[in-house]
Structure 1
Amino acid sequence: MAVQLLVSVRTADEALAALRGGADFIDLKEPRTGALGGLPRAIIRGIVAALREAGSTLPVSATIGDVPLGDLNGILDCVGAVGSCGVDIVKVGIERGPQAFAVLDALAACSHDVVPVFLADQGLDFAAVAHAAGLPLAGVMVDTADKRAGSLFDALPAADLQRFVDTVRAAGQRVGVAGALRVHHLPAVHALAPDFAGFRSAVCNGSRGSALDAARLQALVAVARASAVPTVARFMGGLRVPAVAGLPA
Structure 2
Amino acid sequence: MTRLLVSVRDVPEALLAAGGGADFIDLKEPRDGALGGLALETIAAVVAALRERAIGLPVSATIGDLGMDQLAAILARVQAVAACGVDYVKVGIERAPGAGAVLDALATCGPAVVPVFIADRGLDAALLRRACDSSFPALMVDTADKLAGSLFDVMALPDLQRFVDTVRSSGALAGVAGALRLPHLPALARLQPDFAGFRTAVCSGSRSGALDRQRLQALAAQLHDTALAPVAVSVPVA
TM class by shorter-chain length? over 0.9
Worse-matched range after superposition: 70-79 or 96-105:
96-105
Summarize the alignment of residues 35-50 of structure 1 with structure 2, pairs less than 5 Å apart: 35-50=34-49
Distance in 1 (CA, whole Å) between partners of 2:208 and 2:73 is: 26
- Is the Cα–Cα contact under 8 Å of residues 223 and 229 in structure 1 kept in the other structure? no
Summarize the alignment of residues 94-243 of structure 1 with structure 2, pairs less than 5 Å apart: 94-226=93-225, 227-228=228-229
- Is the Cα–Cα contact under 8 Å of residues 117 and 123 in structure 2 kept in the other structure? yes
Q: Which has the higher contact order (CA 8 A, sep 6+)?
A: 2
Distance in 1 (CA, whole Å) between partners of 2:31 and 2:23 is: 23
Structure 1 runs (4+) deviating above 3 angstroms are: 227-231
Q: Does residue 1:57 correspond to 2:56, yes or no?
A: yes
Distance in 2 (CA, whole Å) between partners of 1:44 and 1:79 is: 13
Task: Report what 1:10 is aligned to.
Answer: 9
The residue type equivalent to 2:112 in the other structure is D
Structure 2 runs not aligned, ≥5 long:
233-238
* Deviations, residues 47-91 of structure 1 (Å, cap 9, x unaligned): 111111111111000000001110100000000110101100000
Structure 1 runs not aligned, ≥5 long:
232-249
The residue type equivalent to 1:60 in the other structure is V
Distance in 1 (CA, whole Å) between partners of 2:230 and 2:8 is: 25
Q: In structure 2, do the counterparts of structure 1 residues 9 and 164 end up closer, same or farther at CA, with 3 Å as the change threshold?
A: same
* Deviations, residues 154-187 of structure 1 (Å, cap 9, x unaligned): 0111121111111111111111000000011111
Task: Give the deviation of 1:229 after TM superposition.
Answer: 7.3
Q: Does residue 1:31 correspond to 2:39, yes or no?
A: no
Distance in 1 (CA, whole Å) between partners of 2:94 and 2:229 is: 34
Alpha-carbon RMSD across the aligned residues, in angstroms, is 1.2
* Deviations, residues 169-215 of structure 1 (Å, cap 9, x unaligned): 11111110000000111110111111111010110010000110000
Distance in 2 (CA, whole Å) between partners of 1:12 and 1:172 is: 32
Distance in 2 (CA, whole Å) between partners of 1:44 and 1:109 is: 23
Distance in 1 (CA, whole Å) between partners of 2:151 and 2:87 is: 25
